[in-house]
């Protein structure tokens, strides 16, 4: 019990620490990889809370996601290496206020609510995976399928938005000249 609290707290602190680094560093690859390690620490928190499948899934998905994030950062930032010392932020005071007040409200709710008795035991990892599979392909199948279709739609939409509009201008020019 206390061991669990200790590990959750350690990984939680790691997640928060790397989360702060994300917005403190000016090197974009560092920023993206700090976010990756923050998410990995969140995955480790899941593991510490005996939610093995989700923890491993989180650790796996974030590695790829945040690496892709890193290359987009390098592509789209004006100063990806962070050697120019540019300030890439605005409305700082307002943002800090909003962030702190949101965190304070959430913390107050967490501390002041009566959460009732906590469950001591959970099923082991194998049984959990099985039950989750039954849930996914049983009661929640509609939601799961919808999520799948949504991913497909987003993939197609994102690709359609991203591919360059080929030869439209030159075609217009040609028509105009004819």
Partner 1 sequence: MTIAIVLLALFGSAWLLAVIEGWITTGRLSPAAPLYSGLAHLGRESILPRSPDRVFFEAAPVLLLVVAVLGMAVLPLAPDLVIADLGTGGLFINAALAYVLVAVIMAGWGPDGAYAMIGGWRFLGQLIAYSMLIVMPITAVAMRAESLVNTAIVGSQESLWNIVYQPLGFVLFFIAAMALAFRAPFDLPTAEGELGGGVDAEYTGVRLAVLRLARLTLVVTLASATTVFYLGGWYGPLLPPWAWSLIKTLAVAVSMLLAGRYLPRIREADLMRWCWVLGIPLALVNIIIVGLLILVVP
Partner 2 sequence: MTVVLIVALLTGAILFGIGIYGALSQTNLVMIMMGVELMLAGAMVNLVAFWRFLHPEAYSGQMFVLVVMTVMALEMAVGFGVAIARFRAKGSVEMEEAEDLKG
Residues at the interface with partner 1 (CB under 8 A): 27, 29-30, 33, 36, 52-53, 56-57, 59-60, 63-64, 67-68, 70-71, 83, 124-126, 128-129
Q: Which C-beta is closer to partner 1: that of 56 or that of 136? A: 56
Q: Which C-beta is closer to partner 1: that of 103 or that of 123? A: 123
Largest Cα span, the chain: 81
Residues whose CB is less than 8 angstroms from the CB of residue 28 and which lie 6 or more positions away in sequence, other chains included: 70, 73, 74, 77, 79, 80, 81, 82
Instruction: Pick one of 81, 124, 126, 131: the residue that binds partner 2 (CB under 8 A).
Output: 131
Q: CB of 88: closest distance to partner 2 in angstroms?
A: 5
Q: CB of 178: closest distance to partner 2 in angstroms?
A: 27
Dihedral sign, Cα of residue 131, residue 134, residue 137, residue 138 = negative
Site for partner 2 in 135-164 (CB under 8 A): 135-136, 139-140, 143-144, 147, 150-151, 154-155, 157-162, 164
Q: Can you read off the two tokens belonging to residue 46?
A: 């899941």
Instruction: Pick one of 1, 83, 112, 176: the residue that binds partner 2 (CB under 8 A).
Output: 1
Site for partner 2 in 62-121 (CB under 8 A): 65, 68-69, 72-73, 75-78, 88-92, 94-96, 98-100, 102-104, 106-107, 110-111, 114-119, 121
Q: Does 27 bind partner 2 (CB under 8 A)?
A: no
Please check whether residue 70 is in contact with residue 39, taking contact to mean a CB–CB distance below 8 angstroms: no
Residues whose CB is less than 8 angstroms from the CB of residue 123 and which lie 6 or more positions away in sequence, other chains included: 131
Number of CB atoms found within 10 A of residue 25's CB: 15
Listed as own residue / partner, the contacts of 35-39 with beta carbons closer than 8 Å and 24 or more positions apart are: 35/66, 35/69, 36/62, 36/63, 36/66, 36/67, 36/69, 38/14, 39/15, 39/66
Q: Which C-beta is closer to partner 1: that of 64 or that of 101? A: 64
């Amino acid at each position: 019990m206390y061991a669990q609290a200790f590990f959750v707290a350690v990984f939680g602190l790691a997640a928060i620490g790397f989360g702060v680094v994300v917005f403190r560093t000016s090197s974009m690859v560092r920023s993206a990889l700090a976010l990756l390690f923050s998410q990995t620490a969140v995955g480790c928190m899941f593991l510490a809370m005996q939610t093995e499948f989700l923890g491993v899934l989180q650790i796996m998905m974030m590695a790829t996601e945040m690496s892709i994030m890193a290359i987009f950062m390098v592509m789209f930032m004006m100063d990806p290496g962070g050697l120019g010392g540019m300030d890439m932020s605005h409305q700082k005071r307002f943002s800090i206020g909003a962030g702190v007040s949101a965190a304070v409200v959430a913390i107050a709710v967490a501390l002041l609510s009566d959460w009732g008795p906590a469950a001591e035991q959970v099923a082991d990892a194998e049984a959990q995976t099985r039950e989750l599979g039954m849930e996914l392909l049983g009661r929640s199948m509609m939601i799961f399928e919808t999520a799948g279709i949504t991913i497909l739609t987003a993939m197609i939409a994102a690709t359609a938005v991203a591919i360059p509009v080929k030869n439209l201008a030159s075609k217009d020019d040609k028509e105009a000249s004819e």
